[in-house]
């Protein structure tokens, strides 16, 4: 016969807390298992502590947590072999939920999110009542002479404390599940929850005699004890079916706050939402959340991995988290560690850094724009692909002391900035190299394919061009101009440097029959043929070693006007339309333009006074303009249709 030790009411000062728990505290009922297992781990760790302090000299045994399912009885139990509880401790820790007001408590914390307050107010155990209609605790304390105790509660404020028949140290919590919660009687469901929340807890968890958690948390290990394969295996476990990461950063500090973790730089696919965090937040190896947006700097959101900290307050709202001093310091620490890792890679493995730059560059640029400390940390490792050709690396000779005396030996070569035929440079090195030719001016390209003609023109005259062609670079150029106000950034198609124009060409020779220069005649020819009042036509002779290889005409978009239209399109969330106001620069040195002028001058007049070749000249002018527009993606659907039709007309006329 069971001896009743005590009956009474759970100490809550206003009303029944259980409906409040179910209504406000947890929308995800499944976390009850996480709370029970967390309590079991705590009990085991407390036993270790009292053993180390000499308060307990008994056999600790192998620590373990065991989950059992009884489908017939509709029960689920969680057992540990930890510290156990006496009757007085059950009264203290289980019965006295000491809130001044349950309603006040809920009002204060309900806005903080479902999973923010679990386990931090003694409520972890009470989450059992979300899924159970009856909860029983059987426990036996480690203390000498302790008596086993049983606690029963049916979800009301009434409880019963009685003797238990338990014979082994530790605690078992048995839940009789509600009819609508019977999913937790399925083995697969329990396995899934343990993997989600408790996979890295430092105690083995058994179900049906089989261990179902990994137990080892790599982020708690010393970095020196982990191999490259260890890091990669952990990443593949966390993010299956993903490409391997580019590199990783191991966080490990216990002062002035505790933070452990491993952060990975993934390859950025176009379908990745860089605004959505994918770093998993843990607290003492217990999974808390799938993202920790308030804990890490915004620019590191695309990183993946794990952050584990007991110093991040989980019992507060997100807005509080963002303003919490410790959280801000943790965010600064994470950003610094990421910056240090990038600098280390740049210094020690320049080739790997460059190969990863297409993905790393997005992090580094976005971080530079959003975090001044991070910008200062990485400004010397911000690199850009360039048209510059690096000379062959030479190993510097150094004087060394040998047994035979002083000798000169070849030293280690400086790190190469060229990988797979592509060279990269810092902005500082670019400006230093070009300070004699174009001081404080940077030529850049943002569309290698469509601006190839412009890039080649610059290269042919020895002008170095940077490639700023990632999706973030349109914003990054503006950022660089604010950071370096003395430097002017010019896109290769915005304006032509004087270096590219041949001022010695005889464009100013006046034709005695028309009293106009050749440049004026060409300009008039194109103005009449194109008939676009908002189009500005300029005539210049472009420098080139091969006149036919240079373009016959180029469309230029003035930098300030183009940027204004880009900003307007961005604000209106529209794609930028090709501006009507632009410049057509006609290359008077190109044989096609010269032939066109000669053709128009040598025409035979028809009886009506018109030239027989006027219409073909018009078609050729339009065709030259069309080709220049194509390099700027200046066609809409109608424009492309008209271009094809005109091209066919030109070819037809030329083949008559």
Query: Residue 279: enclosing H or E segment and its boundaries?
Result: strand 278-283
Contact 37, 201 (CB under 8 A): yes
Please state, in angstroms and as integers, the Cα–Cα distance from residue 145 to each residue in 49, 148, 415, following that order: 20, 10, 71
Q: Is there a binding annotation on residue 169?
A: no
Q: What distance in Å separates the CA atoms of residue 296 and residue 312, rounded to the nearest whole number?
A: 11
List the structure tokens of 189. 């469901």
Q: Is there a binding annotation on residue 347?
A: no
DSSP state letter for 324: -
Q: What distance in Å separates the CA atoms of residue 462 and residue 448, rounded to the nearest whole number?
A: 18
Q: In 3-state terms, what secondary structure has residue 608? A: coil
Residues in a beta bridge with 176: 75, 134
Residues in a beta bridge with 398: 409
Query: Residue 541: enclosing H or E segment and its boundaries?
Result: none
Q: What distance in Å separates the CA atoms of residue 360 and residue 266, rounded to the nearest whole number?
A: 9
Contacts of 66 (CB under 8 A, 6+ apart): 78, 79, 80, 205, 206, 207
Q: What distance in Å separates the CA atoms of residue 242 and residue 266, rounded to the nearest whole number?
A: 9
Closest CA to 250 of 240, 267, 237, 235: 235
* CA triple 163-168-173, angle to 5 deg: 65
Q: How many CB atoms lie within 10 A of CB 100?
A: 9
Closest CA to 470 of 491, 501, 446: 446
Backbone region of residue 485 per phi and psi (left: phi > 0; alpha: psi in -120 to 50; beta: other values): alpha
* CA triple 358-359-364, angle to 5 deg: 100
Q: What distance in Å separates the CA atoms of residue 322 and residue 294, rounded to the nearest whole number?
A: 5
Contact 264, 359 (CB under 8 A): no
Q: What distance in Å separates the CA atoms of residue 556 and residue 509, rounded to the nearest whole number?
A: 26
Contact 81, 166 (CB under 8 A): no
Q: What distance in Å separates the CA atoms of residue 235 and residue 219, rounded to the nearest whole number?
A: 11
Q: Is there a binding annotation on residue 80?
A: yes
Q: What distance in Å separates the CA atoms of residue 236 and residue 241, rounded to the nearest whole number?
A: 7
Helices (H), 239-324: 318-323
* Count of residues making up the chain: 656
Residues in a beta bridge with 171: 80, 139
Q: Is there a binding annotation on residue 85?
A: yes
Contact 559, 490 (CB under 8 A): yes
Residues in a beta bridge with 66: 79, 206
Contacts of 288 (CB under 8 A, 6+ apart): 115, 281, 282, 314
Q: In 3-state terms, what secondary structure has residue 249? A: strand
Q: Is there a binding annotation on residue 626?
A: no
Contact 293, 366 (CB under 8 A): no
In angstroms, what is the C-alpha Rg of the chain?
37
Q: Is there a binding annotation on residue 293?
A: no
Please report, in range form, the residues annotated as the binding site: 35, 39, 80, 85, 171, 318
Binding-site entries for ATP: 35, 39, 80, 85, 171, 318
């Amino acid at each position: 016969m069971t001896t009743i030790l005590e009956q009474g009411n759970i100490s809550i000062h206003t009303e029944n807390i259980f409906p409040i728990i179910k209504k406000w505290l947890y929308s995800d009922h499944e976390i009850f298992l996480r709370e029970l297992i967390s309590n079991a781990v705590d009990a085991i760790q407390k036993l270790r502590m009292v053993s180390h302090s000499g308060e307990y000299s008994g056999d600790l045994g192998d620590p373990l947590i065991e989950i059992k399912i009884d489908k017939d009885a509709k029960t689920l139990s969680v057992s540990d072999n930890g510290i156990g509880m006496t009757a007085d401790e059950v009264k203290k820790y289980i019965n006295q939920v000491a809130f001044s007001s349950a309603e006040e408590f809920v009002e204060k914390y309900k806005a903080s999110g479902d999973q923010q307050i679990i386990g931090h107010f003694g409520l972890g155990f009470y989450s059992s009542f979300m899924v159970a209609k009856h909860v029983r605790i059987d426990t036996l304390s480690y203390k000498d002479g302790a008596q086993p105790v049983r606690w029963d509660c049916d979800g009301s404020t009434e409880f019963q404390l009685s003797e238990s028949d338990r014979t082994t140290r530790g605690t078992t919590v048995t839940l009789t599940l509600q009819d609508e919660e019977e999913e937790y009687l399925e083995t697969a469901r329990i396995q899934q929850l343990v993997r989600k929340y408790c996979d890295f807890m430092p105690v083995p968890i058994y179900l049906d005699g089989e261990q179902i958690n990994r137990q080892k948390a790599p982020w708690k290990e010393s970095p020196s004890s982990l191999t490259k394969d260890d890091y990669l295996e952990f990443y593949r476990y966390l993010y299956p079916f993903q490409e391997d990461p580019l590199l990783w950063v191991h966080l490990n500090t216990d002062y002035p706050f505790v933070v452990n973790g491993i952060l990975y730089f993934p390859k950025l696919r176009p379908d990745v939402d860089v605004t959505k965090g994918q770093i998993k937040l843990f607290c003492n190896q217990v999974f808390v959340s799938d993202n920790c947006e308030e804990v890490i700097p915004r620019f590191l959101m695309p990183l993946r991995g794990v952050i584990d900290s007991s110093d991040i307050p989980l019992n507060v709202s997100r807005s509080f988290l963002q303003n919490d001093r410790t959280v801000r310091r943790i965010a600064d620490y994470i950003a610094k560690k990421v910056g240090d890792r990038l600098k280390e890679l740049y210094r020690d493995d320049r080739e790997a850094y460059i190969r990863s730059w297409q993905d790393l560059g997005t992090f580094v640029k976005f971080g530079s724009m959003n975090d001044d400390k991070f910008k200062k940390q990485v400004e010397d490792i911000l690199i850009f692909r360039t048209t510059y050709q690096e000379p062959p690396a030479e190993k510097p000779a150094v004087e060394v002391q040998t047994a035979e005396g002083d000798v000169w030996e070849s030293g280690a070569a400086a790190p190469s900035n060229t990988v797979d035929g592509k060279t990269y440079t810092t902005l500082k090195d670019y400006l230093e190299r070009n300070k004699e030719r174009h001081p404080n001016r940077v030529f850049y390209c943002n569309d290698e394919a469509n601006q190839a003609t412009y890039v080649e023109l610059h290269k042919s005259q020895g002008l170095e061009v940077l490639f700023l062609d990632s999706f973030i670079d349109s914003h990054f150029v503006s950022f660089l101009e604010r950071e370096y106000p003395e430097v002017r950034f010019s896109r290769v198609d915005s304006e032509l440097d004087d270096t590219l124009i041949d001022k010695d060409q005889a464009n100013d020779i006046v034709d005695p029959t028309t009293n106009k220069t050749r440049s004026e005649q060409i300009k008039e020819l194109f103005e009449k043929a194109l008939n676009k009042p908002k189009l500005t036509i300029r005539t210049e002779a472009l420098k080139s070693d091969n006149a036919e290889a240079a373009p016959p005409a180029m469309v230029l978009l003035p930098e300030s006007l183009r940027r204004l239209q880009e900003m307007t399109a961005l604000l209106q969330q529209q794609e930028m339309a090709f501006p009507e106001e632009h410049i057509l620069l006609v290359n008077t040195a190109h044989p096609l333009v010269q032939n066109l002028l000669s053709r128009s001058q040598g025409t035979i007049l028809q009886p009506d006074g018109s030239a027989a070749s006027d219409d073909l000249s018009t078609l050729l002018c339009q065709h030259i303009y069309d080709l220049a527009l194509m390099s700027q993606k200046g066609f809409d659907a109608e424009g492309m249709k008209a271009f094809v039709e005109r091209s066919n007309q030109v070819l037809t006329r030329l083949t008559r």
